[in-house]
Amino acid sequence: MTAVENRPAAEIGQSRLRKEDAHLLIGRTTWTDNITLPGMLHLAILRSPMAHATITSIDVSAAKQRPGVVAVFTGQDFAETQGSIPCAWPVTPEMVNPGHPSLAVTQVNHVGEAVAVVVARDKYLAQDALEAIDIDYAPLPVVLDMEAALVADTTLVHGHTSSNRSFTWTFESGAAGTGAPIEDTLRDAEVTVRRRFIQQRLIPSFMEPRSTVVSPNGEGVTMWSATQVPHILRTMLALTLNIPEHKVRVIAPDVGGGFGGKLQVTPEEVICTLVARKLGKPVKYTESRSESLMSAHHGRDQIQDITITAKRDGTVTGLDVHLFADMGAYLRLVSPGIPVLGAFMYNSIYKFAGYRFVCEGVFTNKTPTDAYRGAGRPEATFAIERIMDALAGELDMDPMELRRKNWIKHEEFPFTTVCGLTYDSGNYEAATAKALELIGWDELRREQAERRARRDPVQLGLGISTFTEMCGLAPSRVLGSLDYGAGGWENASIRVLATGKVEVVTGASAHGQGHETAWSQIVADQLGVPFDDIEVIHGDTQSSPKGLDTYGSRSLVVGGIAVVKAADKVVEKARAIAAHMLEANPDDLEFAGGSFSVKGSPGSGKTIQEIAFAAFAAHDLPDGMEPSLDSDATFDPENFSFPHGTHLCAIDVDTETGRATIRKYACVDDIGEVINPLIADGQIHGGLAQGIAQALYEEAVYDADGNLTTGTFVDYLLPSASDLPSFLTGRTVSPSTTNPLGVKGVGEAGTIASTPAVVNAVVDALKPWGVQDVQMPCTPERIWRAVAEGVGGAATADRSAEGTVAYGGASTASSDGSGEGEQL
């Protein structure tokens, strides 16, 4: 039997090096694009160069004659069978979903939409044949600007709808009974500050391009795909294509990052399935990066009109949020739910009396938007943390003092917010104190004053973000009340093998998060078996049949707890067998360090490994006992978890060139108990990089014709190592009270918190110029213009401000130079 003496007293809390690394470090990887099957054919997809057009004719006959080409298909070939890309989150009963063909049939609605597919012997030949497809398009006027899209009698993205509005989703604290009527707080306000913030369009930019292999298999299919959501994909694929669900197997092998970008049922996955079934052959499609940037879903892209009210003493009273959220051309899996998920987070850690949130989902001729790391919550955090700074400016108060005055005090937990959510735990005071010390805040403030006084051309800006987020998606009953089409539970099962080794099957499908390591640590503690004796199995609907996958910082908080619950059941089964073996009463046994012993008689014990073998042999079990320790559990959380933290940014802004350089970035995150500090810190680091990138670097830009002008990594500026600082990270621990591990989730914290800290710092640096806002990304051009224009210039944050390119139309030149906008 396996020895247990090598086991530390507790695995949880140890910085265990990752099990996942071994094969990744030596290139023995299973990325979907690495898969080769006998007889496999390769797909290349022809994509629309037009943002909005009617397809008047398609001629594929020449392409079919190209060498190595097996078949060419258009939308007409699959018009009756392809169904619609599913939208699982109809946020209102009236929501308009125009339908989303995988392969365009009669009309294209964004550049990059799939219009034809070539099937050939190899990838090069498939790609070569695309040029032989002849398509005529009749252009339609292009809809790009969300507000223009909502004007009456404007061009419709989808001619069969009555407007470009998909939905209007509203929450109001008076009506909900969770706070005062918003109209009362607005009317009674002593101070009112209004701002318009722009959440630019972002591209998730996972490093592994999406890839799908489909092998037809009798009535069904086996699909390998670079997906975050094999289980959701299986169910949705079955529903969309009318394949019996039990005939569909989805495998997510090694998956190279997702960040929400692979939380999707993609047109490419549907097309691969249709073609494989039609030809009866396995097929593979792997996108190029350029295809990925224009056709994989985008994120953010909202206009945020925010009104905050307060008393003269700085006590906040009301928050009124109006959003325009760009859905792009179609609704994908959870597109409408993304901005709505933010609805409960705008009030953040502050005690508002009244609150209103109105979100209008709008169709435009752009790539659809959907989940991107944080998904609704970064937008909310940005808006509230930016407007708290604006309010502080209006009141001439220190921005940290304003926050302190209004946040939920440690002794007030649990606290029910104006949105009706109950925050179970937190300590904003402690996290803030630690962060201020970590960065050396007071010294930086002194230096800032000194540099301001001497009119240093390089000014120092200091930015704050005291944030919280709702994680652990999600209590199923809450999802139901929000009209989401599924639950939020997670499943785990544990198999104890004859030799005492343990297999843990999880429904959370990892793609870089380190579940194999963290779950092993959890089970090692729960069962008292060595870390190395545990194998974690995930990412294949055949071996891990039940789950809801990985997104929304849910894996540990929901999936990890399911593992704990399954382990509890194993222990209870083992207890019965141990009692039989020890001829004792089960209630007289205690379980510690992997061994059952009679209370008060240490050394009399039976190890879990011995019990596992006894269960396997089944020679002498208690009457009626099944010969197995195997267990499974499905856990549905009772509440969200609420990680929080204080992020501080010190940034040098060169007022002559506009260049902003982060000098110091410090964050103290309270993510509750930590299973593996090394992995948790890694999640924070990566999250920070993405949040900082929104503040300073990244933006998906369309020209006036609807062409994505940031369609490669040359133009879409992912930060490199030299663009980012080293981060100072710290932790406080306020354990979650709603789950047995006290964990809260960490996947999105860095991204959610960091963006406003950076922008607040940029704006703070330019305070002597009267600058009140710089639109993201805060490029040298925008900062330079803000300095040049000073008060009343960039301060308005108007979308038509120069240097603003995100919103097509007004300020962007047509690609042929003839557009109505100004030339940049």
Residue 178's identity, in one-letter code, is T
Least Å distance, CB 56 to other proteins, is 30
Give SS3 for 200.
Answer: strand
Give least dist CB 518 to other proteins, A: 12
At position 802, the amino acid (one-letter code) is E
Shortest distance, CB of residue 675 to other proteins, whole angstroms? 14
727 binds other proteins (CB under 8 A): yes
Q: Give the pairing of strands 644-654 and 458-468.
A: antiparallel
Stretch that binds other proteins, among 1-9, 236-244, 461-469, 687-695 (CB under 8 A): 687-695
Q: In Å, how far are 13, 500, 516, 615, 631 from 532, measured between CA atoms?
A: 16, 12, 11, 22, 20
Find the binder of other proteins among 416, 422, 542, 712 (CB under 8 A): 712
Of 267, 488, 687, 706, the one binding other proteins by CB under 8 A: 687
Please say whether the beta carbons of 675 and 491 come within 8 A. Answer: no
Binders of other proteins among residues 512 to 571 (CB under 8 A) are: 512-514
Hey, which residues does 670 pair with through a beta bridge? 644
CB closer to other proteins out of 36 and 242 = 36
The full DSSP string for 724-744 is: S-PEEEEE-----SSSTT-B-
> Per-residue string for binding with other proteins, 286-325, x by CB under 8 A?
--xxx-----------------------------------
Please count the residues of this chain forming the interface with other proteins, following the rule CB under 8 A. Answer: 56
User: Of these, 207, 498, 592, 824, which contacts other proteins (CB under 8 A)?
Assistant: 207
| Min dist. Cβ of residue 737 to other proteins (A) | 29
Distances (CA, A) of 654 to 195, 460, 662, 804: 25, 9, 11, 20
Does 808 sit near other proteins (CB under 8 A)? no
Residue with Cβ nearer other proteins (381 or 676)? 676
Minimum CB–partner distance for residue 15 and other proteins (Å):
8
Q: For other proteins, which residue of 8, 682, 735, 819 counts as binding (CB under 8 A)?
A: 682
Please say which residue, 28 or 247, places its beta carbon nearer to other proteins. Answer: 28
What stretches of 48-179 adopt beta strand conformation (E)?
53-59, 69-74, 107-108, 114-120, 134-139, 165-172
Contact predicate 775/793, CB 8 Å = no
- Cα–Cα distance for residue pair 45/95, rounded to 1 Å: 31
Least Cα distance to 534 among 544, 519, 514 occurs for: 519
* Cβ distance to other proteins smaller for residue 208 or 269: 208
Q: Which is nearer to other proteins, 352 or 697 (CB)?
A: 697
Which of 292, 406 has the CB closer to other proteins? 292
Considering only 220, 342, 686, 706, the residue that binds other proteins (CB under 8 A) is 686
Site string for other proteins, 729-758 (x = CB under 8 A): ---------------------x--------
Q: How far apart are CA 380 and CA 621, in angstroms?
A: 57
| Residue closer to other proteins, measured from CB, 682 or 790 | 682
Smallest separation (angstroms) from other proteins to the CB of 77: 28
Between CA 43 and CA 268 the distance in angstroms is: 10
Rounded-to-integer distance, Cα 774 and Cα 56, Å? 44
Among residue numbers 12 through 31, which ones bind other proteins (CB under 8 A)? 17-18, 20-22, 24-29, 31
Asked if 679 is part of the footprint of other proteins (rule: CB under 8 A), the reply reads yes
Q: Is the dihedral of CA 450, 453, 456, 460 positive or negative?
A: positive
- Under rule CB under 8 A, residue 713 binds other proteins: yes
**Position 190 contacts other proteins (CB under 8 A):** no
Judged by CB under 8 A, does residue 372 bind other proteins?
A: no
Backbone φ, ψ for residue 291 (5° rounding): -65, -40
Pick the stretch among 62-70, 159-167, 207-215, 499-507 that binds other proteins (CB under 8 A): 207-215
What are the distances in angstroms from CA 101 to CA 54, 74, 285, 763? 14, 11, 18, 44
Interacting positions 479-518 with other proteins (CB under 8 A): 511-514
Q: Is 678 in the site for other proteins (CB under 8 A)?
A: yes
Q: Taking CB under 8 A as the rule, which mask of x and - marks residues 145-184 in contact with other proteins?
A: ----------------------------------------
Distance set, CA 607 to CA 6, 503, 577, 597 (Å): 14, 17, 11, 9
Closest contact distance (angstroms) between CB of 780 and other proteins is: 18
How far, CA to CA in Å, does 763 sit from each of 362, 389, 666?
Answer: 30, 9, 18
3 versus 25: smaller Cβ distance to other proteins: 25
Q: Does the footprint of other proteins cover residue 67 (CB under 8 A)?
A: no
| Closer of 475 and 686 to other proteins (Cβ) | 686
The alpha carbon of residue 425 and the mean position of all alpha carbons in its chain are separated, in whole angstroms, by 23
Is 254 among the residues that bind other proteins (CB under 8 A)? yes
Cβ at position 690, least distance to other proteins in Å: 7
214-to-81, 402, 465, 493, 658 alpha-carbon distances in Å: 17, 56, 45, 28, 50
Burial class for 796, CB neighbours closer than 10 Å (0-12, 13-18, 19+): middle
In the complex, least distance from residue 511 CB atom to other proteins, rounded to whole angstroms = 6
The answer to the question of residue 702 lying near other proteins (CB under 8 A) is no
Determine the interface stretch with other proteins among 273-281, 376-384, 589-597, 709-717 (rule: CB under 8 A): 709-717
Closest CA to 255 of 552, 534, 515, 560: 515
Q: Looking at beta carbons only, is 418 or 693 nearer to other proteins? A: 693
- 671: tokens are 């993510």
Is 659 a binder of other proteins (CB under 8 A)? no
Nearer Cβ to other proteins (512/658): 512
Q: 105 is written with which tokens?
A: 């049939």
Q: Assess 720 for contact with other proteins (CB under 8 A).
A: yes
Q: Tell me how crowded residue 175 is: count the other CB atoms within 10 A of its CB.
A: 12
Whichever of 198 and 689 has its CB closer to other proteins, that residue is 689
Distance of closest approach, residue 29 Cβ to other proteins, in angstroms? 6
- Among 13, 49, 257, 545, the residue binding other proteins under the rule CB under 8 A is 257
CB closer to other proteins, 482 vs 724: 724
DSSP code string of 504-529 = EEES---SSS-HHHHHHHHHHHHHT-
By the 8 A CB rule, do 259 and 267 touch? no
Strand extents, DSSP E, 75-204: 107-108, 114-120, 134-139, 165-172, 191-202
Per-position x/- string for 110-129, each x denoting binding to other proteins as judged by CB under 8 A, each - no binding = ------------xxx-----
Give CA–CA dist 329/157, Å, rounded. Answer: 7
As measured in angstroms, the least distance from the Cβ of 68 to other proteins is 12
- Listed ranges 273-281, 493-501, 632-640, 674-682: which one lies at the site for other proteins (CB under 8 A): 674-682
Q: Which stretch binds other proteins (CB under 8 A): 314-322, 384-392, 603-611, 711-719?
A: 711-719
Residue 139 near residue 52, CB atoms below 8 Å: yes
Residue 34 found at the interface with other proteins (CB under 8 A): yes
Does 56 contact other proteins by CB under 8 A?
no
Least separation in angstroms between residue 36's CB and other proteins is 8
Rounded (10°) angle between helices 441-453 and 428-439? 60
Q: Kindly list the residues in this chain that would bind other proteins in the complex (CB under 8 A).
A: 17-18, 20-22, 24-29, 31, 33-34, 122-124, 205-209, 254-257, 259, 288-290, 511-514, 678-679, 681-682, 685-690, 712-714, 718, 720-724, 726-727, 750
